[in-house]
Amino acid sequence: MQTTRNFVRCRLAPRFLLAYLCLCTPVLAQQEQVALRGGKLLTVSHGTIDDGVVVMENGRITAVGSVNLVHVAKNARVIDVKGMTVYPGLIDSETALGLTEISAEPMTNDLIESSEEIMPHMHVYDAFHAESELIPVTRLNGITNAIVAPANRDTLPGQDSFVQLAGRSAEEMLLVRDVALPLNFSGEQRRDERGESRKFPSTRMGLAAQLRQTFLDAQDYAQRWTDYEKRKADYEKAKSEAPAKADDKNQGKDKKQPPSPPKHDLKLEALLPYLEGKKLVVLAAEEANDLETAVGLTREFNLKFVLNHISHAQSVLDYVASLKVPVIVGPIYEDPKPDERYDAVYSLPAQLNKRGVKIAFASYDAHNSRNLPYQAGFATAFGLPHEEALKAVTLNAAEIWGVADRLGSLDVGKTANIVVANGDPLDVKTDVKQVFIEGKEIPMTSRQTRLRDQYSEQ
């Protein structure tokens, strides 16, 4: 708002243009400096600062510290946040945001391409709907970033994107396209449908064999391209040396055709960065047996992976810890199995944390992504330290998804995704008062607040 106003003033007052330029230049060239002063800062990376100030400029955090120690520019816009808690924007490590609007209305859903089991060439970014009404609803609760993943009905359903929940277009919101490849092996991937139609695969053996064949095919595909590149290079080399032998008598006889490239295969091509260990596979399993089979598969092909769910793998948590990979845990609201104690799943985050496993929470939802922090809070009631719970929806997630240089904590240089709330970020009673995304004050409105206001009038 400030920016617009100053800009208008400049244009309407040419007489004072020079004088105004002094004032306006910084505004025109960049965002004003904004300082949130007096709040309790949960930095996540370096503890709590009780009477703190965060300064933002040009969409970045430029200062964080105690009120006494941080210099705030004279012309900065200072927002008094006394009594408030200030923390980094929350990151939901798996959602369907932008892929669904009304769950029961098929035409508003782009969740999964279920015609085939192996669909790594599906890209979430091709469907991501930036104007979804769910996005403002979600960010109003302090969630500023999310993984968007296809639904889990295929073993390889497509590739995830890492998004920011504000922006003028999908282009702006998609921070990392194809950030990871989900590999679902929970034993439920379309087994029923396949079973009925007697189509392969209908068992875990089938799913595993199909995956193995797929990765072998992709390796083979990569080899064919490598061979081709080599042949092509040889050919180019031969050709470049050719003029020197232009008078060679045998030239015509030995003349080589340029090598023809292999046929493109989008499916196999999509798998290459994962086979090369350049990108992350998100390995989903629920129970111990599936987990071990799936880990075996990723080992066979040297895939770099994180684990997902493992909701009923309590018996092998030491094994999980020995893998030294992070776990996207939950949803902890998953019902326990009949032979499990009521809190078997609730206490999983604490159990993993105790074993030194890095965890992050996910809502695995779209409409209810806004409830992500409460899941982390609930896990603390079952032994997860509060500090770790907060990390699991901020910095841990940023680290897992490779964006910790930009997100996940209140640190100088990071993107100014900042939440101001009237209390503990993980408690259901807490009201989020203001969200900043890339330093911009997000309007605290959604379709839902508009309905509320409309029917509160009268």
Q: Which is nearer to another protein, 159 or 347 (CB)?
A: 347
Pairing of strands 418-421, 432-437: antiparallel
Closest approach of another protein to the CB of residue 388, in Å: 15
- Cβ closest to another protein, residue 257 vs residue 455: 455
- 18, 68, 255, 342: residue in contact with another protein (rule CB under 8 A): 342
Return the C-alpha torsion angle 340, 344, 348, 351, nearest 10. -90
Bridging pattern class, strands 143-148 and 440-441:
unpaired
DSSP assignments along 88-133, one per residue:
EPEEEEEE-TTTBSSTT-GGGB----TT-SB-TT-BGGGT--TT-T
Tell me which stretch binds another protein (CB under 8 A): 57-65, 177-185, 211-219, 329-337. 329-337
Among the residue ranges 112-120, 261-269, 271-279, 371-379, the one whose residues contact another protein (CB under 8 A) = 371-379
387 contributes a contact to another protein by CB under 8 A: no
The residue written with tokens 């893998």 in the block is 323
CB of 66 to another protein, least distance (A): 28
Residue 154 CA to its chain's centroid (Å): 20
Size of the site for another protein (CB under 8 A): 38
- Residues 88-147 touching another protein, rule: CB under 8 A, are 101-105, 134
DSSP symbol at 158: -
Smallest gap from Cβ 334 to another protein, in A, equals 8
CA distance 210 to 441: 48
> Per CB under 8 A, does 445 bind another protein?
no
Q: Whole-angstrom Cα distance, residue 92 to residue 400?
A: 12
- How far apart are alpha carbons 132 and 370 in whole angstroms? 14
Minimum CB distance to another protein smaller for 90 or for 403? 90
Residue 85 contacts residue 39 (beta carbons within 8 Å): yes
Which listed residue (171, 229, 300, 335) binds another protein by CB under 8 A?
A: 335
Binding range to another protein, per CB under 8 A, among 55-63, 167-175, 180-188, 447-455: 447-455
Q: State yes or no: residue 364 binds another protein (CB under 8 A).
A: no
Q: Cis peptide leading into 243, omega within 30 of 0? A: no
CA distance 134 to 422: 23
**40 forms bridges with which residues in the sheet?**
85
Taking CB under 8 A as the criterion, the residue among 223, 262, 427, 443 binding another protein is 427
* Residues of this chain that bind another protein (CB under 8 A): 101-105, 134, 333, 335-336, 338-339, 341-343, 366-368, 370-371, 373-374, 377-378, 380-382, 426-431, 448-449, 451-452, 455-456
